[in-house]
Amino acid sequence: MNRWLTRRWPAPHWPSIRGRARADAGPLLLTAAVIAAVALLAGAVPALLRAAADDAVQDAVRRAGNDANVLVHADWERDDGPNGGRIRTAGLADDVEDFRARATYALGADLDAALLPPVAVVSGPILSITEGSVPRTFQFTYLADDRDGPAVTWIAGSAPGSPFPDEPVEAPYDGPPWPVQVGLAETAAAALNLGPGDRLPVKDGQGRDRDVRISGIYRPADSTDSTWRLAPALLGPLPGADGVGITRFAGLLSRESLPDARLAVDQDQLRRTVHFAPEPGALTWDTTAALANQVVALKAASGSSGARDGSLRWESQLDTTLRDARTRGNAASAQAAVLLTGILTVTVLVLLLAAALLVHRRTPALGAARQRGAALPDLAAELTIESTVVSVSAAAVGLALARAVTPGVSWTWAVPVVLAGAVAGPAFGTLAAARASRDRRQPANPAARRWIRVTAQLRRAAVEAAVLIAAVAGFVTLHQRGLLPDAADGDTGELTGDLVLPISALALGGLVGALVLLRLLPLGARFALRQALRSRRPLAVFSAARAATTAGRALPLLVLVSATALASFALILGSTVTRGLADGAWSTVGADARLDLGTDAQAATPALAERVAAAPGVQQVVVAQVTESARVFAESTLFTPRLVVVDAAAFQRLLATTPLPDAPALARLTAPAPTPGDVPALVLSNDSELRTGARLQLPRDDAPAIRLAAVGTAPAVGGAGDVVVVDATALAAAGLPAVANTVWVTGPGAARAVTNSGVAADVVLRADVLRAQRVAPLTAGLLRLAWTAAAVLVTLGLLGLLLAAAAGTSERWHTLVRLRTLGLRPRDARWVAAGELLPPVVVTAGYGPLLGALLARLTLGPLDLRLLTGQPGDPATVLPWWLLGLVGVVLLAVAATVVPVESALRRRDRLSEVLRAGE
Amino acid sequence: MSAEPLLRVRDVHRSFRTGPTVVHALRGVSFDVAAGAMVALVGRSGSGKTTLLNVIGGLDRPDAGTVHVNGTDVAALDEDGLSRLRRETVSYVFQSFGLIPVLSAAENVAAPLRLARVAPAERERRVGLLLELVGLADHARQRPAELSGGQQQRVAIARALAASPRLLLADEPTGQLDAETGLSVMALLRGIVESEGVTVLVSTHDAVMMALADRVIRIHDGHLDEQAAGQPYEPVPDAR
């Protein structure tokens, strides 16, 4: 108790604090600059990432298009009348309005705020047009939104009406087809050669005639109106909508003709759906999880599809889209955290090195202070006050700058840097002061000296073992658990504690690599020394001796190797993502350029292909019929793969001119099938359900299905998960001639050739796709961070190199002067200095990039880069050797300038002063 | 007629400027040292002992005056000439030993011989003799960290003698040693003067060393105050 009562608080001596700060303003300012710069980066990155995540969510929803809509269905109440017929409900359009209002109410406030006003779509069944030589289908549709449907101009006839009064009319069940009036789009009417007053010859699935009459021809006031996207056939004929080679037409219903449409088809054949399109601008990263959960809850609460009542049945992929975007955001966040952890680790090491240098300068003053009677707690308090003021104020400046240039700031990541800056100096300084005042000489007893050495070695081995164990645990966790938040724990969008270890795996790996070199370098230096001792060159001996003396110094080598390895990793990551984006663009487009042709232009495809092929700079041109979500049966299972009907030989030649994987199996498409009558096909499936050896069927209307035999693996076309590729000639021989709707073009002149094709077609250029992918928010953000991290790490490495040189310069030149007292010439002294400084840098210049490549190999897989590159699989690791070599060259160049600069600075010092300072 | 002295110092001045302050370390110092003598240079800290040794060894240049070592005007030598002088004529022993830690005792002793391009066989022979001389023949393969402070200073002395210098300058060689070890080192230096014929100029605070010296030169604020050898000496209080 007395001890506690008599203990006094540390009493800092303020003039000493001010004096030390003035004397060492340079190193303190350097420390502050490092802390401020890294705090700026660490504070800005999370905020920038969050902003990019918001943009990415909105971008994902925009790209998903109608797939991200929230749909709600409800059956009609039965319209049975009292006299054995069906009652015509004159107010059916009002009923649809009521349905729209009910659906909106059921959404809830949060979802309602994130979605655009609803559009109700009432559609009839798919009817077959009975005239014409090619298969065509027809569907009538009613659109209702806040504006009563999209605006149209009637260029012939009038809007659909009804010959029946508003009073209830009962249609007998066995009566003739109930007439319904529809409007036709201008292009559809021209294609069908029909006009106002004509009757459209259609039958339903049971072969019964339906009475559909054309009331007028319309032209959309704005064909880009998003409402049309819900029923695109209303804008004109839609090829391939109902199967290969089948074109769909659509008729527009009005409020007046809607009741007739219900009676024109069977009781349950008119379907009503309300579409809610998301408002991308209203979506943010923070809201995605809650919105996705609400969509899931709506879907879970849907009424049974078998129930014949008006209950709402929800359907949407918005939750999947949001969750995918969130997964990509989480992946980007984790990837950024990995890079940031690397930067922070190296920064902490640099700050330790800077603190060691500062304390080295101060040791005489601290020793003198102790001899004057300063207590260690007082000195520790003084040093802590100084380092805390420097670290906290520098971090505050960095975070303030981050706040000024970014939408927000995160201080969490700056904490390790501030702590290192605040603690390292006082800790090293107090130890140095304690040693300076401890009257301990080298023990004369050899056993005592050996014990001291063994104790130091055990202490070092324990630290190294701890780092190694942490690194192994980090990599194991990284590979077993990954970096994405555990959905079971709830995805909060924040990095949770269980992610600390896997996120740190890279940095720990860098440290372990540096520790390995730290063990090997002294062995190598001693080996070099032994070789030099056998030589007759005194400079080699002294250089090797100096190198061997300094090879075991931990901090300089840890900084150099960690910085170089992690910078190399960042360069590899950036290059891999860049290449992944390029490969993804090749995969998406399939060539340098692609033309997606409309129905009107399809007939001219062969001539178009010839014209494009003749253009300068075009290497290969291939035409194909590509059908999205084609219906293909394998046994009794329906698949909806991308069906590609193409000249197999030409396709193989085209692939050979691209970086896309070659597909040798394409040659099998032109060989006879294993079973006569089957058409050979290549298949590709994400889940392996479409596999080689499978027997497939391609159904046709009014004809037997075509049998396909899967004889090999298809190339990935357009990044689709499921693909079926068939040779056009073989399929035509089986009775289904292809109607080409796609033209792939390769060669340097491909873009110009397709752009000037003179045909109404969607032009997809690989360069445009690549550009779009590169500027995608998360991808662009990660790439910027990777390049920035590489630059920062290289800078930190160079700073570490200079600090290490500065920390050793006093001892180095003292030794050199001692050698000069033995007769070493001044110019020879510079060679000896170079012999000391260069070996670890030369080794690091080679070892660091190799370690970075090893870390990339161990780490890139679990980083889930495919989520950002848009590839079906992980991108292949790219080693940018020239960039990695550049890192080494920069290190060597800076190290090579240290000796002449140091020599020039030291030239002014008299030998006697150096010796006196070193005593 | 007396023989030419090995060391001749004439009217040497050396001053240092520290900001506005000028410190006169040496003020017209003049003395001679005959070959084969052991001279103790004593004085307070800051009296100019080390400066005088540095000027004599060519590690520093005087503002005025001349220093002749073995007939060579040290101040007139260029860097290469000074290097040659230090390689062939003058060598040093420092308070902090200055050994290369990764080299063995023998390799440290051989360092000047390597610089002088002495053939390996002759180098090994000479190193063996010197280690024998300083009593460390059994420690030839040990590194400095494996040796005691006294042993390290013995290695440093052997290294200083390796190139057969004419003049050995020792700057407080016993400063980091305990009294007993210091005494043995001083005895060694005395013995070397006797056996090798080397001229030794040693700065010291140690009365025993002064007693062993042929002659004691006292320096006070840059001026000389010479004492006869063996005369009782009152140690100078040292601020260290």
According to the model, what pLDDT value does residue A140 have? 93
Mutate: best of B17, B78, B83, partner A, most A CBs <10 A:
B83
The whole-number pLDDT of residue A603 equals: 63
User: Mean pLDDT across the stretch A488-494?
Assistant: 52
Residues of chain B with pLDDT below 70 are 1-3, 226-240
Test A541 with B87 for CB contact under 8 angstroms: no
Please report the pLDDT score of residue A390 as a whole number: 94
Name the residue with tokens 């060393």.
B209
pLDDT of A918 reads 44
Q: Looking at the complex, does the CB of residue B96 fall below 8 Å from at least one CB of chain A? A: yes
Segment A563-602, tens digit of pLDDT: 999 999 999 999 999 999 998 888 888 889 998 876 655 6
Query: Which residue of A444, A549, A822 is in closest CB contact with B148?
Result: A444
* Residue A854, pLDDT score: 95
**Is the CB of B86 inside 8 Å of chain A's CB atoms?**
yes
Residue A830 has pLDDT above 90, yes or no: no
Q: Which of B54, B80, B159 sits opposite A825 (nearest CB)?
A: B80
Strand pairing category for A247-252 and A136-144 = parallel
Using an 8 Å CB-CB cutoff, list chain B residues near A826: 79, 83
Question: How is domain B1-89+165-230 classified at the architecture level of CATH?
Answer: 3-Layer(aba) Sandwich (3.40)
Q: Which of A533, A823, A912 sits opposite B83 (nearest CB)?
A: A823
A569 within 8 A of A506, measured Cβ to Cβ: yes
Task: Supply the pLDDT for residue A498.
Answer: 74
Q: Which residues have a Cβ under 8 Å from the Cβ of A658 and sit 6 or more positions away?
A: A586, A591, A592, A746
E strand spans, A485-619: 593-597
Residue A919 pLDDT > 50, yes or no? Answer: no
Asked if A823 and B87 come within 8 Å (Cβ–Cβ), the reply is yes
Judge whether residue A562 has pLDDT over 90.
yes
Per-residue pLDDT band at A5 (split at 50, 70, 90): low
Q: What is the mean pLDDT of residues A61-77?
A: 86
Residue range A322-342, pLDDT digits in tens:
888 888 888 888 889 999 999
Using alpha carbons, select from A547, A537, A527 the residue that is nearest to residue A835.
A547
Q: Sort out which chain A residues have CB atoms less than 8 A from B50's CB and list them.
A: 912, 916
Domain residue limits, chain B: 1-89+165-230, 99-164
CA atoms within 13 A on the CB side of A103: 32
- Residue A723's Cβ-count burial label (10 Å; 0-12, 13-18, 19+) is buried
Quick check: A526 and B102 CB within 8 A?
yes
Above pLDDT 70, what percent of chain A?
Answer: 92
Q: What is the ipTM of this complex?
A: 0.86
Contact assignment for B96 to A824 by CB distance below 8 Å: no
The minimum CA-CA distance between B200 and chain A, rounded to whole Å, is: 16
Contact A548 B102 (CB under 8 A): yes
Cα–Cα distance, A354 to A360 (Å, whole number): 10
**Cα B100 from Cα A439, distance rounded (Å):** 24
Contact, A734 vs A724, CB < 8 A?
Answer: no
pLDDT of B234: 45
DSSP A875-889: PPP---HHHHHHHHH
Single-letter residue type at B68: H
Residues in chain A with CB shorter than 8 Å from the CB of B117 are 536, 538
pLDDT of A489 > 60? The answer is no
pLDDT of residue A487: 54
Q: Shortest CA distance to B50 belongs to which of B168, B219, B211?
A: B219
Q: Look at residue A327 in the predicted model and tell me its pLDDT.
A: 86
Spell out the long-range contacts of A219-223 with Cβ–Cβ below 8 A and sequence spacing 24 or more.
A219/A152, A219/A153, A219/A155, A219/A185, A219/A186, A220/A150, A220/A151, A220/A152, A220/A153, A220/A185, A221/A150, A221/A151, A221/A152, A221/A153, A222/A150, A222/A151
CB-nearest to B149 from A442, A545, A912 is A442
Lowest mean pLDDT among A176-190, A424-438, A676-690, B155-169: A676-690
* pLDDT > 70? residue A908: no
Contact B100 A815 (CB under 8 A): yes
Give the CA count within 13 Å in the CB-facing half-sphere of A70: 31
Give residue A601's pLDDT.
57
Residue of chain A with shortest Cα separation from B162: A822
Confidence class of residue A36 from pLDDT cuts 50, 70 and 90?
very high
In tens, the pLDDT along A853-867 reads 999 999 988 888 888
Over 70: is that where the pLDDT of A497 sits?
A: no
User: pLDDT value at position A242?
Assistant: 67
Q: Would you call A444 and B112 a contact, using CB atoms and an 8 Å cutoff?
A: no
Asked if the Cβ–Cβ distance from B111 to A821 is below 8 Å, we say no
B8's enclosing H/E stretch is strand B7-18
* Residues whose CB is less than 8 angstroms from the CB of residue A912 and which lie 6 or more positions away in sequence, other chains included: B50, B51, B54, B59, B60
Instruction: State the pLDDT at residue A465.
Output: 95
Tell me whether B239 touches chain A (CB under 8 Å).
Answer: no
Instruction: Select the more confidently predicted residue: A490 or B80.
Output: B80
Residue B163 gets which letter from DSSP? T
Determine, for residues A823 and B88 on separate chains, whether the beta-carbon distance falls below 8 Å: yes
Q: Which residues of A touch B108 (CB under 8 A)?
A: none
A369, exposed or middle or buried, with CB in 10 Å at 0-12, 13-18, 19+?
Answer: buried
Question: Touching check for A538 and chain B: CB below 8 Å?
Answer: yes
What's the confidence (pLDDT) of residue A464?
93
Residue A281 banded pLDDT, cuts 50, 70, 90: confident
Look at residue B228 in the predicted model and tell me its pLDDT. Answer: 45
B138 and A CB contact within 8 Å? no
Residues of A in contact with B51 (CB under 8 A): 912
Asked whether A247 and A599 are in contact (CB, 8 A), the reply is yes
List phi, psi (to 5°) of A716. -70, 125
Average pLDDT score over residue span A623-632? 84
Instruction: From residue A101, give the alpha-carbon distance in Å to each of A105, A167, A254, A275.
Output: 6, 25, 19, 12
Query: How far apart are the CA of B2 and the nearest CA of chain A, in angstroms?
Result: 31
- The token pair that represents A597 in the structure block: 């042709």
Confidence of residue A182 (pLDDT cuts 50, 70, 90): very high
Q: Is B166 on the interface with A (CB under 8 A)?
A: no
* Closest-CA residue to A107 (of A146, A76, A72): A72
Best mutation site among B115, B122, B130, B177 for testing chain A: the one with the most A CBs within 10 Å?
Answer: B115
Over residues A507-532, the pLDDT tens digits come to 999 999 999 999 999 999 999 999 99
State yes or no: pLDDT of A491 exceeds 60: no
Q: What was the pLDDT predicted at B235? A: 42
- Residues A510, A516: Cα–Cα separation, whole Å: 10
Nearest to B83 among A536, A549, A820 (CB): A820
CB B41 within 8 A of CB B201: yes
Is B101 within 8 Å of A915 when comparing Cβ atoms?
A: no
Residues of B in contact with A538 (CB under 8 A): 111, 114-115, 117
- Residue with more model confidence, A766 or B193: A766
Helices (runs of H) and strands (runs of E) counted in chain B: 7, 10
**Alpha carbon distance A582, A767 (integer Å):** 9
A538–B117 CB contact, under 8 Å? yes
Q: Is the Cβ of A823 closer than 8 Å to some Cβ of chain B?
A: yes
For A872, list phi and psi in degrees, rounded to 5. -65, -30
Q: Do A533 and B107 touch (CB under 8 A)?
A: yes
* Test mutation, A907, A912, A913, A916, chain B, max B CBs within 10 A: A912
Average the pLDDT over A784-798 and give the result: 95
Query: CB-based contact (8 Å) between B111 and chain A?
Result: yes
Residue A510 confidence (pLDDT): 95
Which residues of chain A neighbour B102 with C-beta distances below 8 Å?
A: 526, 529, 545, 548-549
Q: Does A816 touch chain B (CB under 8 A)?
A: no
In terms of Cβ atoms closer than 10 Å to its own Cβ (0-12, 13-18, 19+), residue A177 is middle
Kindly state the DSSP code that residue A280 receives in the 8-state scheme. Answer: G
Q: Can you point out the beta strands (E) in A126-179?
A: 127-129, 136-144, 152-157, 169-172
pLDDT mean across residues, chain A:
86
User: Which one has a higher pLDDT value, A207 or A120?
Assistant: A120
pLDDT for the residue numbered A40: 93
Residue B103 sits at the chain A interface (C-beta within 8 Å)? yes
Instruction: Tell me what pLDDT residue A481 has.
Output: 83
End-to-end CA distance of chain B: 44
Q: Is some CB atom of chain A closer than 8 A to the CB atom of B222?
A: no
Choose among B86, B103, B145: nearest Cβ to A821: B86
pTM: 0.81
Q: Is A442 on the interface with B (CB under 8 A)?
A: yes
- Look up residue A361 and give its two tokens: 């300068």
Give the pLDDT band of residue A389 (cuts 50, 70, 90).
very high
Query: Looking at residue A772, what is its pLDDT?
Result: 86
List all residues 6 or more positions away from A563 whose beta carbon is below 8 Å from its beta carbon: A346, A793, A794, A796, A797, A800, A848
User: pLDDT tens-digit profile of A682-702?
Assistant: 888 876 667 787 888 888 766
- How far out from the chain centre does Cα A569 lie? 17
Are the beta carbons of B83 and A825 separated by less than 8 Å? yes
How many Cβ atoms from other residues are within 10 Å of residue A878's Cβ? 20
Of A441, A444, A822, the CB nearest to B111: A822
Give exposure, A813-825, as e/b (b: 16+ Cβ within 10 Å): bbbbbbbbbbbbb
Stretch (H or E) spanning B219:
strand B215-220
